[in-house]
Homo-oligomer: A and B are copies of this chain.
């Protein structure tokens, strides 16, 4: 490969993040070369991507039927793991949704590939395992806008952190009366005010489950204790997160909401790309940035998820798996919006974690929770 050109593998290339990662690559052909692509569905788009970017390896798996029964996080392991291991793949963009990301993330980290992580679920359910690899020298670069903001603010001074402050838009239901939440339709829950994202993460933004996942991601990626990570509601999604240092100084990262910016940052790291995807931030046009407390009555999933996170072990794996099933059922109009929390809570309450945390235990808890959630629904 030509000097100065970074070889990139993108896992989950047909999803929202995967497509935007390819937009960054398309814009800087002299800097990046696509070595591998993988997708679980939308094979028509995948073949167009293959035609355009000519990767050396492709891993594809069409889902049978609606996917609800057939989805198995390990199903495509062989080819996805081969893709990750390709010698020209210096950077692996992990954009596989859900728990399925954990195995390839760990594999890539063990091979000491640099990983740009959009699939925060891998860290949510396997945080301790991922952190172990990072402590041993693996490089994990966040792609989530909040985690990227923190990472950017920590640049040049990773020590002396007093507090991380994650911002949350509040999602599409921020102004909806709490007593009406049980009547929210999938269409309403998918109408995000500031971000265009995949369906699962958009529903998780409506329940704020997603924000709890980001707290977990920040905890494991930056090694900050739970009690020093806070969330503030910031409806404009301009301030993507903040870091408070020991001396009281706070740094923030700002931009109009666009996932291509944190993707570009991770792809170019440790440099910065020389072109902008979004307009330049115009503070006068923005006029005001507002901040509100997080209302626990509106977002009970947030507290539940953080309870599971603090409990540790396989609780987050059970929580995440139950949430994946519950959101899918909600999107299929099989359960109501507030049933998501009910279902997830019951699964977490019933969960009995094993005695030690291993990949096998996590995958077993994941499988158990998926099945239990379906039974309970």
* Contact surface of A with B, Cβ cutoff 8 Å: 152-153, 155-157, 159-160, 162-163, 165, 232, 234, 239, 242, 244-255, 261, 264-265, 268, 271-281, 283-284, 286-293
Contact = CB atoms under 8 A, between A and B. Distances in A.
Contact of A272 (B160, B232, B261, B286): B160
B248 A163 contact: no
A162 B274 CA distance: 9
A251 to B, nearest CB: 6
Contacts of A288: 288-291
A299 to B, nearest CB: 15
Contacts of A272: 157, 159-160, 245-247, 249
Given A287-B290, A288-B290, A247 B276 contact: yes
Nearest to A274: B246
A249 B152 contact: yes
Given A157-B272, A287-B291, A265 B281 contact: no
Nearest to A262: B249
A284 B292 contact: yes
Contacts of A261: 247-249
B152 A155 contact: no
B290 A248 contact: no
Given A163-B280, A286-B291, A255 B264 contact: no
A283 to B, nearest CB: 4
Given A232-B283, A242-B254, A247-B274, 18 more contacts: A155-B157, A160-B271, A160-B274, A234-B283, A246-B274, A247-B265, A247-B268, A247-B275, A247-B276, A248-B255, A248-B277, A248-B279, A248-B280, A249-B253, A251-B254, A286-B291, A287-B290, A288-B291
A135 to B, nearest CB: 21
A232 B284 contact: yes
Nearest to A271: B160
A241 B285 CA distance: 17
Contact of A248 (B234, B244, B281): B281
Nearest to A278: B248
21 contacts: A152-B251, A159-B272, A163-B280, A232-B284, A234-B283, A245-B272, A246-B273, A246-B276, A247-B272, A247-B273, A248-B261, A248-B276, A248-B279, A248-B281, A249-B253, A250-B254, A251-B254, A284-B291, A286-B291, A287-B290, A289-B290
A151 to B, nearest CB: 11
A291 B289 CA distance: 9
Contacts of A291: 283-284, 286-288
A163 B254 CA distance: 14
Contact of A155 (B155, B247, B279, B290): B155
A271 to B, nearest CB: 7
B274 A249 contact: no
Contacts of A264: 247
Contacts of A290: 287-289
A250 B283 CA distance: 11
A348 to B, nearest CB: 29
A277 to B, nearest CB: 7
A232 B244 CA distance: 23
A153 B243 CA distance: 12
A232 B285 CA distance: 11
A211 to B, nearest CB: 15
B283 A265 contact: no
B250 A255 contact: yes
Contact of A289 (B160, B249, B275, B289): B289
A100 B261 CA distance: 46
